[in-house]
Chain A
Amino acid sequence: MNLSLSLYDLFALSPQLCILAGAIILLLVESFAPQISQRFSLAITAGIFTAAAILTLFQPQTTNTLLTYWLQFDLFSEAFSLAAFAIGIATLLLSHAFFARFHVRPGEYCVFLLCAIFGIQLIAHAADFLTLFLGLEMLSVATYVLCGYVKKWTASNESSLKYFLMGSLASALFVYGVALIYGAIGHTSLRTILQSYQEIIPAPERTLFLAGIALVSFGLFFKAAIVPFHFWAPDVYAGASTPISAFMALGIKTAAFAALVRVFWGSLQHFDPLWNEAVRCLIYATLIYANSVAMRQTHLRRFFAYSGISHAGFLLIPFVVGGTEGGAAFWIYLITYLLSTAGAFAVLAILDNHSGGPKAEDLKGLFRESPLTAATFAVCLLTLAGFPPTVGFFAKFSIFQLAYAQGYYDLVILGLLTSIFSAFYYFRWITIMFEGKEERTARRPCLPEKTLATTSIVLLIVFSLCPSFIRYT
Chain B
Amino acid sequence: MQLLTLKRTAILLSILPLFLFLYFWIYDLRPQIDRPWIPSLGIHFALSIDSLSLIFIVLTTLITPLAILVSDEHKIQNPLAFYGSILILELMLLGFFCAADLILFAFFWEGMLIPIYILLVCWGDEEREKTGMKFLLYTLSGSVLMIIAILSLYFLNPAHDFLISAIAAHAAQSAYTPYLCAIFLLAFAVKTPLFPFHGWLPDAYCRSPLPVTILLSAVLSKAGIYGFLRIGPTFFFAQIETWSPFLLTLSIGGVIYGAFAAWMQADFKRLIAYSSLSHVNFILAGIFVQQKTAATGAILQSLNHALTVAALFIAADWVERRIRTTSIHKCGGLCLYMPKLCWMTLFFVLASIGLPGLNNFVGEILILFGFVVKRPWTAPIIATTLILSAVYMLRWMQQLYFGPPHLAEHAKNDLSKKELLIGLGLATAVLFLGIRPGPLLDQAHSAMQTIFNPSEIPPQ
Whether A200 sits at the interface, judged by CB under 8 Å, is no
A400 to B103, CA, bound (A): 13
A423 to B111, CA, bound (A): 13
Q: If the complex has contacts A424-B137, A431-B121, A431-B129, are A419 and B41 also in contact, measured as CB distance less than 8 A?
A: no
A389 to B37, CA, bound (A): 14
Selecting from B139-147, B348-356, B391-399, the interface stretch reads B139-147
Whether A416 sits at the interface, judged by CB under 8 Å, is yes
Which residues on A sit within 8 Å (CB–CB) of B140? 420, 423
**CB-CB contacts below 8 Å: B322-379 with A:** none
User: In the complex the two chains form, is A413's CB within 8 Å of B136's CB?
Assistant: no
Look across to chain B and name the residue whose beta carbon is closest to the beta carbon of A424.
B137
User: In the complex the two chains form, is B144's CB within 8 Å of A468's CB?
Assistant: no
A420 to B141, CA, bound (A): 7
| B422 → chain A closest CB, angstroms | 30
Partner of B147, one of A371, A400, A423, A468: A400
Whether B5 sits at the interface, judged by CB under 8 Å, is no
Which residues on B sit within 8 Å (CB–CB) of A405? 155
Partner of B148, one of A382, A394, A413, A431: A413
Q: Mark B26-57, 1 if CB is under 8 A from A, else 0.
A: 00000000000111110100000000000000
User: In the complex the two chains form, is B132's CB within 8 Å of A431's CB?
Assistant: yes
User: In the complex the two chains form, is A394's CB within 8 Å of B114's CB?
Assistant: no
Look across to chain B and name the residue whose beta carbon is closest to the beta carbon of A469.
B38
Which residues on B sit within 8 Å (CB–CB) of A398? 40-41
Chain B contact patch, size range: 35 or more
User: In the complex the two chains form, is A388's CB within 8 Å of B107's CB?
Assistant: yes
| B292 → chain A closest CB, angstroms | 34
User: In the complex the two chains form, is B147's CB within 8 Å of A397's CB?
Assistant: yes
Q: If the complex has contacts A382-B114, A393-B110, A397-B103, are A468 and B38 also in contact, measured as CB distance less than 8 A?
A: yes
Partner of B38, one of A371, A427, A467: A467
Which residues on A sit within 8 Å (CB–CB) of B118? 430, 434
A395 to B111, CA, bound (A): 15
Q: If the complex has contacts A393-B107, A412-B148, A416-B145, are A435 and B129 also in contact, measured as CB distance less than 8 A?
A: yes
Whether B133 sits at the interface, judged by CB under 8 Å, is yes
Q: Mark A250-261, 1 if CB is under 8 A from B, else 0.
A: 000000000000
Which residues on B sit within 8 Å (CB–CB) of A431? 121, 129, 132-133
User: In the complex the two chains form, is A468's CB within 8 Å of B152's CB?
Assistant: no
Which residues on B sit within 8 Å (CB–CB) of A38? none
Q: Mark B72-88, 1 if CB is under 8 A from A, else 0.
A: 00000000010000000
Chain A contact patch, size range: 20 to 34
Q: If the complex has contacts A389-B107, A394-B41, are A427 and B117 also in contact, measured as CB distance less than 8 A?
A: yes
**CB-CB contacts below 8 Å: B75-134 with A:** 81, 92, 103, 106-108, 110-111, 113-114, 117-118, 121-122, 129, 132-133
User: In the complex the two chains form, is A423's CB within 8 Å of B136's CB?
Assistant: yes
Look across to chain A and name the residue whose beta carbon is closest to the beta carbon of B109.
A388
Whether A451 sits at the interface, judged by CB under 8 Å, is no
**CB-CB contacts below 8 Å: A388-428 with B:** 388-389, 393-394, 397-398, 400-401, 404-405, 409, 412-413, 416-417, 419-420, 423-424, 427-428
Which residues on A sit within 8 Å (CB–CB) of B117? 427
User: In the complex the two chains form, is A467's CB within 8 Å of B133's CB?
Assistant: no
Which residues on A sit within 8 Å (CB–CB) of B122? 367, 434
Look across to chain B and name the residue whose beta carbon is closest to the beta carbon of A371.
B81
A405 to B148, CA, bound (A): 11
Whether A328 sits at the interface, judged by CB under 8 Å, is yes
Which residues on B sit within 8 Å (CB–CB) of A400? 147-148, 151
| B40 → chain A closest CB, angstroms | 5
Whether A472 sits at the interface, judged by CB under 8 Å, is yes
A423 to B144, CA, bound (A): 11
Which residues on A sit within 8 Å (CB–CB) of B129? 431, 434-435
User: In the complex the two chains form, is B145's CB within 8 Å of A413's CB?
Assistant: yes
Chain A interface (Cβ < 8 Å from any Cβ of B): 328, 367, 371, 382, 387-389, 393-394, 397-398, 400-401, 404-405, 409, 412-413, 416-417, 419-420, 423-424, 427-428, 430-431, 434-435, 467-468, 472
